[in-house]
Amino acid sequence: MQDKPLALIIDDEADLCRLMQITLNKMGMDTHVAYDVASARAFLADNHYDFCLTDLALPDGSGMEIVELVTKTTTTPVAVITAHGDVNVAIEAMKIGAFDFVNKPLDLPRLRQLAQSALKVNETIIQSTEDDIPQDGSQEKSVSTAIPPNPLTGELVAPTENDTKTDTEHNTETSKDKPQKTGQNSTKKSKSSTPVTVVSDDEIFGGRLIGDSRPMKQLRSTIKKLARSQAPVFLWGGSGTGKEVVSRLIHDLSGRRNGNFVPVNCGAIPSELMESEFFGHKKGSFTGATSDKIGLFQQADGGTLFLDEVADLPLAMQVKLLRAIQEKTVRAIGDTKEVPVDIRIVCATHKDLADLVQKGAFRQDLFYRINVIEVKLPDLNDRRDDIPMLAEHFLNMIAKDWELDNLSLTDDAIDVLTYHNFKGNVRELRNILERAVTMSDSDEIDAHHLMLDDIHDISESDDTPSHVSHDDIITLAPSEPATEAINTTANDIPTPSNIIKVSPYHDQRPTYTANTVIKENKEPKPITPGLNIIASANYGTPLSTPKSQKISPLDSNSASQAFDDLNSSEHENLANGELPSQGLEAYLIDQERQIICNALQQAGGNKTQAAKLLGMTFRSLRYRMKKLDIDDGDDE
C-alpha cells in the first residue's frame, strides 16, 4: 500500500498545531509536529516530507531558518504562517524560497488549499540536466544581476533513498513536549508518496524556449525552480524577448497546470471596463450589463493570471488589484459577496517599473507585492550565439505552417542575422524570416531576402520600434498573429496538459515592429496598374471575417458576402473624409482580401498569374491567402 503524504508542522502554539494536524489528517496526510527550530531540524534530518508548514516566530529562532534549510537541502515545498497583515514578512520568506504563506488567525479552507497545492508541486519532478546552473558567483554578470540571489534553491531531482533515513534514532527527543506523530505510516518515511511524473528538459522546453547560450540555460534553470513556487513573478525584458513564453512555461510546469492560464494585456483594456473585466459584474449592475460576467481573476482560479504590460494599469485599478492579490478574494461589480480566488500572478513589462514608482506612476506597494521574484529576460543582442539556432527553428516552423519544403539560410544570411541589431528581439527575428520567405521564391534564403539594410536605417531612427503608431506606418510584412495563443498547436507546445484560456484583451494591440515598417508615403502606392493598395494588412489583428467563413475567390457570391459591409456608400463616405466604421485594421484587411480575390478571378484562379498581376511573389500571395482565409483551391 502506498504511503500517505507526510507533513511537518512547526509552531509553538499547541492548540494551533492540533487544529492543523486534524485538518491535514482529514485530507489524508500524516503529520509530524515540532514546537521549535531545534526539534524541526531533527525531524528534517531524518525524514522526507511532502509538505512543511512553519510559523515564523519560534522560541529558539526564526521560521526563516527552517525555510532556508528546507529549500537548500530538500525538494519539499515549505510554506510560512504569518501574523495577519504581515505581508512583508511573507514576501521575504518567498524571496528565500518559501512556496507560499498562510495568515493567522488560520483560515482552514486556505490551509487546505495550500496543502493541496504543495502536494501538486511534488507531482512533477523535472530531471536535472547540465542546464541547471548553480546560482553561485560563477554566473555571467548579466545573469547574476538579472536574477535575485537565491530565489528558490530547491534541487530538481527526485528524492533518492539517500535523501532520507528512518527516524527511529530521534523520534522521542526532538521536542519539548515530545513531537507528536499521527497516522499509521508516519515513522518510516523513506521517499515521497506522491505519484511522481518525471519529465525531461526536452519534453518541457522543446521548441518553446530555444537557445543554448548561458543566459538561456540559466533562464531554463530558473523557470524550473519558479514552477515549484507560488510566489508572484515579475518578468522584465524588452519587447519580443519571450516574457509570455516564459510565463506559460512556469504555469505549465507548476502544480497549477491543470488550471487556466489567463493572459491579459493590461494596456488593451479600456479603463472604464477594467474593473468589470478583472472582477466581473452582476446582471443589471450598470447600463449594458445584460448578464452576469465572470472576471479574469475567477477565470484564472486554480491557475495563473498573466498580467502583461502591467505598467499600463491606471492608478485607480492598481489599488483594486493590490487588494485582490492581498486578500485573495474578489467582488464582482453589483455583488455583495467576496469570492475567494486561488491564483498565481505573473506580471511582465518592458518598462522600467522601479522608475515609474519613483515618478509616482506606479504604486510602490503593488510593485513590492508583484515583484517578489524578478526575472530579467536577456535581449537577443546579448545572446547572439542563439541566433542561428532560433533562425533554424523558425524556418522549420514556417515551412511546416506554409507546407513548404525544407527551408535553409545561406551562410551570408546567417552572418547578416548574427550581426543585426535586434530591437524587437526574438519576435523581430521571426518576422524577418517570415518576410524573407515570402520574398524568396527559392527554398534557400539569401542575405538580400532579409532586407536588413533598409530596416537598420529605420530602426536606428526609431525610439519605440515595437509600438509604432498607425498614423505613420505602412506594414510591409506580416507581424505576428494575435491569435497565436489560441492557435498554438500541440507541436508548438509539447507540454504537460494545459488548458489555455485567452482573455479578450490578450494581445489585441497591433504588433508592429520596426523591421516591418517603412516610413509613410502619403500617396497610395500603386502596386500594379489598375490596383491601388494603400497598405497591406497587419496580420497581428483579428480578421474582420470570422475564421469559419472561408472565402472562395472564384465564387463571387461568397466573396461579395464577405464585403457586404463595405458598400459603395461607405466608399463614398471615406472619399469624403469620414473614417471606416469597422476600424482601420478591419477595413484594410477587407480591402486586401477583396483585391486578392479580384486578382484571382481575373487570373481564372491561377495563383502564379494572380501573383504577377499583384506584383508579388507566388509564395507571398499564398501566405496572404492563408492568413486571410481565402480558399487555396488546388495547389499549382
Rounded to a whole number of angstroms, the minimum distance from the CB of residue 219 to ligand ATP is 8
Rounded to a whole number of angstroms, the minimum distance from the CB of residue 243 to ligand ATP is 3
Rounded to a whole number of angstroms, the minimum distance from the CB of residue 395 to ligand ATP is 12
Q: Which is nearer to ligand ATP, 151 or 242 (CB)?
A: 242
Pick from 159, 211, 280, 510: which binds ligand ATP (CB under 6 A)? 211
Q: Which is nearer to ligand ATP, 210 or 310 (CB)?
A: 210
Which single residue brings its beta carbon nearest to ligand ATP? 242
| Nearest residue to 343 (alpha-carbon basis) of 98, 100, 24 | 100
Rounded to a whole number of angstroms, the minimum distance from the CB of residue 332 to ligand ATP is 28
210 binds ligand ATP (CB under 6 A): yes
Q: Which is nearer to ligand ATP, 248 or 281 (CB)?
A: 248
513 binds ligand ATP (CB under 6 A): no
220 binds ligand ATP (CB under 6 A): no
Give CA 405 to chain center in angstroms. Answer: 31
Q: List C-alpha distances in Å: 10 to 14, 42, 64, 477.
A: 10, 12, 12, 60
Q: Which three cell numbers stand for residue 161?
A: 533513498
Distance separating alpha carbons of residues 407 and 459, to the nearest angstrom: 27
Distance separating alpha carbons of residues 433 and 292, to the nearest angstrom: 45
Give CA 155 to chain center in angstroms. Answer: 24
Rounded to a whole number of angstroms, the minimum distance from the CB of residue 207 to ligand ATP is 7
Q: Which three cell numbers stand for residue 381?
A: 543582442
Using DSSP, state whether 227 is helix, strand or coil. coil
308 binds ligand ATP (CB under 6 A): yes
Collect all residues with Cβ–Cβ distance below 8 Å to 396 and sequence separation of at least 6.
407
Q: Regarding beta strands 499-500 and 260-265, do their DSSP bridges make them parallel or antiparallel, or are they unpaired?
A: parallel
Show the DSSP H helices in 122-239 as ranges: 141-146, 201-205, 214-226
Pick from 32, 420, 427, 622: which binds ligand ATP (CB under 6 A)? 427
Q: Which is nearer to ligand ATP, 174 or 466 (CB)?
A: 466
Rounded to a whole number of angstroms, the minimum distance from the CB of residue 388 to ligand ATP is 13
428 binds ligand ATP (CB under 6 A): no
Q: Which is nearer to ligand ATP, 331 or 393 (CB)?
A: 393
Pick from 55, 100, 277, 480: which binds ligand ATP (CB under 6 A)? 480
Q: Which is nearer to ligand ATP, 440 or 513 (CB)?
A: 513
Distance separating alpha carbons of residues 413 and 394, to the nearest angstrom: 14
Contact status, residue 317 vs residue 271, Cβ threshold 8 Å? yes
Q: Is the peptide bond before 105 cis (omega within 30 degrees of 0)?
A: yes
90 binds ligand ATP (CB under 6 A): no
Using CB under 6 A as the binding rule, the residues of this chain from 311 to 350 that contact ligand ATP are: 350
Residue 242 sits at the vertex; the CA angle it makes with 98 and 76, to the nearest 5 degrees, is: 20
- DSSP secondary-structure letter at 630? B
Binding mask 236-275 for ligand ATP (x = CB under 6 A): -x-xxxxxxx------------------------------
Cα end-to-end span (Å), the chain: 64
Q: Which is nearer to ligand ATP, 66 or 210 (CB)?
A: 210
Q: Which stretch binds ligand ATP (CB under 6 A): 84-92, 116-124, 164-172, 422-430?
A: 422-430
Give the H/E segment covering residue 182. Answer: strand 180-182
Q: Which residues bind ligand ATP (CB under 6 A)?
A: 209-211, 237, 239-245, 308, 350, 426-427, 430, 466, 480
